């Protein structure tokens, strides 16, 4: 059985293959350096029927970028307790240099 930690790692790895998106994490680098924590992992919520991933877009336009992300992320859920869950991609911020 796949644990929450394992599926989070799989989702983050799949997201790395999508140029133009990154996990939405706290921006205080000094805090991140002092506190050992899986900062990228906090961008992912795993509920019974919804997998929610908060993202920062570094490219535009958003619709094809989000389709690419969904195509990359959905296979990571196959064979897990979240295989039938809705995948909700939430863009929380847009990088100021996004083009």
Tally the domains of the chain: 1
Within a domain: 47: yes
Within a domain: 30: no
Residue 29 pLDDT > 70: no
CATH number for 81? 3.30.300
Token pair in block for residue 84 = 């039938």
Residues with Cβ within 8 Å of 5's Cβ and at least 6 positions away in sequence, in order, are 41
Q: What is the mean pLDDT of residues 19-45?
A: 71
In 26-61, alpha helices (H)? 29-34
How many residues are there in the chain?
A: 99
Band of residue 33 on the pLDDT scale cut at 50, 70, 90: low
Single pTM value for the model: 0.84
Dihedral sign for Cα atoms in the order 15, 9, 41, 71 = positive
Within a domain: 33: no
Within a domain: 31: no
Within a domain: 53: yes
State the residue range of the domain holding 73. 4-25+39-94
pLDDT score of 40: 66
Token pair in block for residue 78 = 């196959």
């Amino acid at each position: 059985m796949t644990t929450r930690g394992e599926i989070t790692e799989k989702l983050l790895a799949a997201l790395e293959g999508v140029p133009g998106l990154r996990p939405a994490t706290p921006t205080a680098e000094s805090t991140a350096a002092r506190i050992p924590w899986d900062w990228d992992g906090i961008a992912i919520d795993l509920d019974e029927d919804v997998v929610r991933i908060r993202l920062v877009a570094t490219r535009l336009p958003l619709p094809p970028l989000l389709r690419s992300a969904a195509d990359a992320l959905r296979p990571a859920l196959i064979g897990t307790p979240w295989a039938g869950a809705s995948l909700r991609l939430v863009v929380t911020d847009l990088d100021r240099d996004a083009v």
